[in-house]
A and B are shown apart, each in its own frame.
Chain A
Amino acid sequence: MKYFYLVWKSLWRKKVRTILTMLSVFVAFLLFGLLSALNQVFSGAEDLSNARRLVTLDKISIINSLPSAYLPRIEAVQGVERVAHASWFGGYYQEPRNQFAQFAVDPERYLDVYPELIIPDDQRDKWIRTRDSVIVGRELVDQFGWSVGDRIPMYSSIWTNKNGSQVWDFEIAGIFDTDDPRSSTQMMLIQYDYFDEGRAFGNGSMGWFVLTIDSAGNAAEIANIVDTQFANSPNQTKTSTEAAFAEAFIGQYGNISLIITLILTAVFFTILLVSGNTMSQSVRERIPELAVLKTLGFQDTSVLGIVLAESTFVMCLGGGLGLGLAWLIVNVLGAIPLPGFYLDAAALTQGVIYILLAGLAAGIFPAMQAMRLTIVDALSRA
């Protein structure tokens, strides 16, 4: 600690250079924070997937519906505890850019299968009792300024109402939250019975089934039994774990995690080169001064430590501010309204570790150079 003042003053010997280096580190770690949160959006669905939940959908495509008659047959499979179903509504609120997930579901079954959705009892009861009602997630309420009791028109680009209109009128019966900060509440849940009776075609079909099973270890066997049951029917099924389902769904967009990792690798590599070069330049300029320190009695390891501390300090200040701003934007301000866009403790810890490693990596070669200086040679350069 007694060398801190020396490190601090040395750091600011070339203010512009130090500030520019810190800014580049700041931007790199701001980017790291934002991309980590974005990665969470795509990998979060996989993480949130429950190993004890299976998804059964049409073998050919998720856009093909399955007969509702499958429900009791799936329910009868040994090891299956509860079955919910969901159908894609495919609508928007007021204008096409206001798109979010809307599923037509059986309320009780769905809430049983997804216990992480939290809704007050009175609102849950009202939803179950009121056929044309919906429940909406907290993020949607915040986004559109809705409240319980509001009536909202939803335009479905898939389902025409029996009255010939594609506009469906719903009452908001409740607002649900989730106890997992990574989980999205940008979702609307519609009463299936009301939806099925109201739609002009496709009646009696369901989009997919979600099964809870007794043990994750039985997942493969149960999936096989379910799919075998419908192997010779016109609507063959494919049952997989929810994680595999989410992975396949996300896979449609490409390997996002890999892309993000590649971008971050490029950013960090560049930062290491920039910072390493800056530190080398700084040491080259100070060779006589470092020699004086050694002449006064500073040990080689002390000189090594001083140079390493400088580079780590630049990284900590720039990187810390960058990561801090990312945290503020993502977790506190919620400035980017993406489901699951969240910077968790693991990503923050990873960021801090990267900051320290980058500081050491950028400083190690210049520090070694400083440590190995021969006093007599170095003084002769003064």
Chain B
Amino acid sequence: MSNDLVVLKDISRTYQKGKEKVEVLHQLDLNIAEGDFVALMGPSGSGKTTLLNLLGGLDKPTSGSVQVGGAELHKMSSSALSKWRATNIGFIFQFYNLLPVLTAQKNVELPLLLTNLSGKERAKRATTALSIVGLGDRAKHYPREMSGGQEQRVAIARAIVSDPNLLLCDEPTGDLDRETADEILKLLQALNSEHNKTIVMVTHDAQAAEYAKHTLYVDKGTLAAETTT
């Protein structure tokens, strides 16, 4: 029995740009095993972020099938995808995308608002998530009161607080200096090895990709090559 968490078959994704059709992904097949840490690399416009969006149920393929953890995302409605994302996926963005009006604690609690947990339980879980990323003492701070690295840690805490299997990271170190980037990547590595989170990370940074178990190269909408770290 396969232990693939992600199974993409014959995926194509075409966008309409004015009168022109642009095919971003072309008949792409991809399997990612549970517990894997995959880096997606490739030139700008190669389709990396589109691929990530398809994995996270933020977008749907023009053709082909997307299965994540047994769920057939290409067949699901927008509403069903929202529900699915809330429990199965953690997103980490390049610019952190924290809500500036909320403290670190409240930002981390956001995904838990979609559950039936009590306020007390939400707060407890958020505190735990913040401790995992090493920010237990910054819970009451607002994003504007934190460094970029700390903001990204809060974003990671928000991504893991509802305990999803799959973490999708879009250039998570793109806005950080080398030292801070390494800290974040080590944190992701720890989440992968110690908490068994499957991670797919889009990056332009070859050094960042070295933290992953595998690196996939995407070019012109197809998988061009694969390397193992």
Q: Do A and B come from one complex?
A: yes
Q: Which residues of A contact B (CB under 8 A)?
A: 2-3, 5-6, 9-10, 12-13, 288-289, 292-300, 375-376, 379, 382
* Dominant SS among interface residues on chain A: helix
8 Å CB contact of B82 from A289, A298, A376:
A298
- Whether A297 lies near B111 (C-beta < 8 A) is yes
Stretch at the interface among B4-12, B65-73, B89-97: B89-97
Decide: B78 and A6 in contact? CB cutoff 8 A: no
Report if B22 contacts A (CB, 8 A).
no
Contacts of A299 in B (CB 8 A): 79, 82-83
List the B residue with the shortest CB-CB distance to A303: B82
Q: Which residues of B contact A (CB under 8 A)?
A: 53, 56, 58-59, 78-79, 82-87, 91, 93, 95, 97, 99-102, 106, 110-111, 113-114, 119, 158
Q: Which residue of A lies closest to B95 (CB)?
A: A382
- Smallest Cβ distance from A367 to chain B, in angstroms? 17
The chain A residue with its CB closest to the CB of B79 is A299
Q: Check B113 against A3 for contact (C-beta < 8 Å).
A: yes
Residue of A nearest to B159 (CB): A296
Could you tell me if B110 and A296 are in contact, using CB atoms closer than 8 angstroms? yes
Decide: A295 and B91 in contact? CB cutoff 8 A: yes
Say yes or no: B97 contacts A289, CB within 8 Å.
yes
Contacts A294-B82, A382-B97 given; indicate if A5 touches B111 (C-beta within 8 A). Answer: no
Chain B contact residues: helix, strand, loop or mixed: helix
What are 8 sample pairs from A and B whose C-beta atoms fall under 8 A apart? Answer: A6-B113, A9-B101, A288-B97, A292-B97, A296-B158, A300-B78, A300-B79, A379-B97
- Look across to chain A and name the residue whose beta carbon is closest to the beta carbon of B107: A292
Q: How far is the CA of A212 from the CA of B215 in the complex (A)?
A: 99
Which residues of the partner chain A approach B78 to less than 8 Å between Cβ atoms?
A: 300
Residues of A contacting B79 with CB < 8 Å? Answer: 299-300
Given A299-B82, A382-B95, also A293-B110 (CB < 8 A): yes
User: For A12, A296, A382, which residue has the most chain B Cβ atoms within 10 angstroms?
Assistant: A296
Whether A296 touches B100, Cβ cut-off 8 Å, given contacts A2-B119, A3-B113, A376-B53, is: no
Chain B residue numbers with a CB within 8 Å of A300 are 78-79, 82
A297 to B57, CA, bound (A): 10
**Known contacts being A9-B102, A13-B100, A13-B101, is A375 close to B58, with CB within 8 Å?**
yes
| CB < 8 Å neighbour of A379 from B93, B99, B113, B114 | B93
What separation, in Å, do the CA atoms of A288 and B100 have in the docked complex?
12
Measured CB to CB, the closest approach of chain B to A86, in angstroms, equals 66
